[in-house]
Chains A and B, each alone.
Chain A
Amino acid sequence: MHKSLLAMALSLATASALAAGEHGGSHSATPEAEVDRTIQIEAGDMWFDREELSITAGETVRFEVANTGNLQHEFVIGDAEAQEEHREMMQAMGNSHGDGHDGHGGHDMAEGAHGSQMPSITLAPGETTELIWTAPADVDTLVYACNIPGHYESGMFGEINLGG
């Protein structure tokens, strides 16, 4: 319990540091000029307004994600397997019995077991944040999801079709 609390505190600290440093900017090193197009996505309770996206391999996209719901949400891009691992980890962290289970720890820790960092942003209610991302060339489909416990399960995810 203490361990996970510490982990949560650390991750939250990291998250806020990131947020402070990057607000208004992007979560990637890609320069503005290289953005091919902007995709606006609305995140509500418990849905994204778009359930499917088609993006060409190599295309650089600026996601403008607006949280119009009452709860915190995240927007994470990755393959189905990494997303599920991330989800399981977040559930395990929020589940330590005796603490009332209200924590959903591990914000911005969208890390798969392979050590691959998934591009992700976390959004407070009412917040709009950008994520700039370049579509990889070696996969057909990816998933974007909110992995806060129960959110994906309620339908808060969509697919990115990279088939070209």
Chain B
Amino acid sequence: MARSSVTTHPLSRRQLLKGGAALGIGSAAALGLRPAWANPWGQTNVYSKGVEEGPEVSLAIRRESILIDGKEARPISINGTSPGPMIRLKEGQNAVLKVTNLLDEPTSIHWHGLILPPEMDGVPGVSFPGIAPGETFTYRFPVHQNGTYWYHSHSGLQEQLGHAGPLIIDAAEREPFRYDRENVLLLTDWTYEDPMSVFRNLKTAEGYYNFQERTIADYFADVREKGFAATAEMRGMWAKMRMSSRDIADVTGSTYTYLLNGQSPEENWTALFKAGERVRLRVINGSAMSYFDVRIPGLKMTVVAADGQPVQPVPVDEFRIGVAETYDVLVTPEDDTAYTIFAEAMDRSGYARATLAPREGMAAEIPERRQIADRGMEAMGAHGMGGMDHSGMGGSDMQGMDHSNMQGMDHSDMNGSDMEGMDHANMRGMSGEQNRMNANGMLAAGAAQPGSRYNQAGIGIDSDARRVLVYRDLKAFTPWPDRREPQRELELHLTGNMERYMWSFDGKKFSEVTGPIHFEKDERLRLILINDTMMEHPVHLHGMWMELENGQGELIPRKHTLNVKPGERVSALITADAEGSWAFHCHLLYHMDAGMFRVVKVS
């Protein structure tokens, strides 16, 4: 690829590109006969499930029979498609979104990532009562932002039934990059099972969907490699934590069909381009439970936005997208050939796939799926070793570690001086920041917390094999407006018991807490999330941005959803300027339903 692009003459490429732009909206229609819509800057956008153009949009929610992957299915549809159509708004508009519930149960739509009045946020029991069967609710809000977002039901487990879609907001001013064509790529995980029975299975039988657990053969292999004592110790630890080291995801490809724009890998949704065009891909992870690793073999992707917010461009080969996150990437396919868009489930139990091609009906090779990874030592950070950076310890390599220090270590009040004697080799970037405390004795704004692993993509990713996006890469163009130091810190532990399928914050399920988390109106606070579990959790705050303190100082990026890796400690700055009650939860659907949910009240 690199070689062939060298031989492509820049002039001819540019001419081609102009030809493409001149064709405009007509070209997309002629190429693919798909709903397309031109944005104010002249690019066409293609998404396969229809487009509803704002500011006034009507959406009808139904349960109906639709074929998914060629098989009979009963998803929830929005205006007749599942997942739903792309809603296209423009920055500065006053959106009027009328949602009519034609289900026989209440429903709702939450506009994920949008800053809007609390009563328009769409969370039943928090923002409004929900939309009763037969009723229409009209959402009205001013659109003050632009970028790639999505919408989904916030009622029960409806999201699992395809009640979701892309929400794209065109910028009022030109964005800090140029492109010729754009495509929306919405990733979802579909199951033909009733979501309620998926939930029951998770509650009654841990590892129900996990066929990748370690076997007796693995056990003997471990003994051979590590010796009996280390193996017994390792197994003992996993048993104590009520987990298997192969619990990468709790709902897997054994029940899920991974979809891209509603189409299965076999159906192969195709995004069209002309060689030499710069193509913007708006990637949205709208799945209920699945993280994906996205790459396009043969193409470098340049990440230009995260969670709808522009970031300084980062050329990568692959990126991991947590549930509910969005990333915008630019690619420039120089050759008149097909490329596979490959979104491998983090647990390697399956993949979603599409093709980027100059013509319909083309396909490129599908990469081999990687081996399932073992949860290694990094995951055990949650159990006595939080605050340490285990990046140097790959996989299940436990040799040379002193486990005696792991017992009963309380890391909740760990500070700089407690960290002596630990391996600082991978904590570069922290050493300087450790001294930068603010007047309140807290870490300076924007500094990375000890125990964060922003320079790692996470489990099962080999960053030596290819350049993978990490949180540390995300850097805003300009500082966000509120530059105040945090006035206080709020620490929340992400907690769970896999065996009983209980998920919570600070050990308390939503049903067990007495009141909301209080933010003082207009205060500047630091939210610290400490993951005491051995799974990734995508934590989403409604109504306000979270500025991820990834060590980029003034240029920390802002996000609506933060991925917190097992054992990791992650922090974000929040300006509590949005009066009202807001949902705050893990965006893994069944975790949220199991109790990993809180209400934040700003007053």
Contacts and interface: CB of A to CB of B under 8 A. Distances in A.
A154 B311 CA distance: 11
B473 interface: yes
Contacts of B500: none
A121 to B, nearest CB: 21
B11 interface: yes
Contacts of B11: 140-141, 159, 161
B10 A159 contact: yes
Interface stretch (A8-16, A21-29, A58-66, A143-151): A143-151
Given A100-B455, A154-B177, A84 B6 contact: yes
Nearest to B300: A153
B464 interface: yes
A153 B472 contact: no
Nearest to A100: B472
B10 to A, nearest CB: 5
Interface string B7-19: 0111100100000
A81 interface: yes
B240 interface: no
A114 interface: no
A133 interface: no
A44 B464 CA distance: 33
B552 A155 contact: no
Contact of B6 (A81, A95, A154): A81
A47 interface: yes
Interface in B306-335: 312-315, 330, 332
Contact of A45 (B5, B10, B176, B302): B176
B551 A100 contact: yes
A50 interface: no
Contacts of A99: 428-429, 455
B10 A100 contact: no
A112 to B, nearest CB: 12
B127 to A, nearest CB: 36
Interface string B286-302: 00000000000000101
A71 interface: yes
B426 interface: yes
Contacts of A150: 302-304, 312-315
B176 A154 contact: yes
Contacts of B473: 100-102
A102 B426 contact: no
B314 A155 contact: no
B359 interface: no
Given A150-B313, A153-B302, A154-B313, A46 B429 contact: no
A144 B322 CA distance: 37
B475 interface: yes
A71 B472 CA distance: 18
B477 interface: yes
B178 A46 contact: yes
Interface string A122-159: 00000000000000000011010000011101110001
A120 interface: no
A67 interface: no
Contacts of B391: 98
A148 to B, nearest CB: 9
A154 B330 contact: yes
Interface string A99-124: 11110000000000000000000000
Contacts of B455: 97-101
A30 interface: no
A149 B6 contact: no
B6 A70 contact: no
A153 B315 contact: yes
Contacts of A140: 11
Contacts of A102: 472-473, 475, 552
B488 interface: no
B478 to A, nearest CB: 5
B339 to A, nearest CB: 16
Contacts of B302: 150, 153-154
A161 B494 CA distance: 59
A101 B6 contact: no
B203 interface: no
Given A141-B10, A159-B11, A46 B313 contact: yes
A154 B304 contact: yes
Contacts of A151: 313
Given A149-B314, A154-B178, A80 B477 contact: no
B428 A46 contact: no
Contacts of A141: 9-11
A98 B178 contact: no
B269 interface: no
B179 interface: yes
Nearest to A163: B11
A150 to B, nearest CB: 3
A153 B470 contact: no
A151 B302 CA distance: 9
Query: Which of A91, A99, A153 has the most CB atoms of chain B within a 10 A radius of its CB?
Result: A153
Contact of A71 (B179, B312, B426): B312
B467 interface: yes
Nearest to A141: B11
Given A95-B467, A100-B428, A141-B10, A153 B477 contact: no
B463 interface: yes
Interface in A1-52: 44-47, 51-52
Contacts of A81: 6
A80 B10 contact: yes
Contacts of A161: 11
A114 B145 CA distance: 47
Contacts of B226: none
Nearest to A47: B178
Contacts of A80: 6, 8-10
A149 B9 contact: no
5 contacts: A46-B176, A52-B14, A91-B315, A98-B428, A101-B455
Closest 9 CB pairs of A and B: A150-B313, A155-B178, A154-B177, A153-B302, A45-B176, A100-B472, A154-B313, A80-B10, A141-B11
Given A97-B455, A98-B391, 20 more contacts: A45-B176, A51-B14, A80-B8, A80-B10, A84-B6, A97-B463, A98-B428, A100-B428, A100-B429, A100-B473, A101-B314, A102-B475, A149-B313, A149-B314, A150-B304, A150-B313, A153-B315, A153-B330, A154-B302, A159-B10
Interface of B: 2, 5-6, 8-11, 14, 176-179, 278, 300, 302-304, 312-315, 330, 332, 391, 426, 428-429, 454-455, 463-464, 467, 470, 472-473, 475, 477-478, 551-552
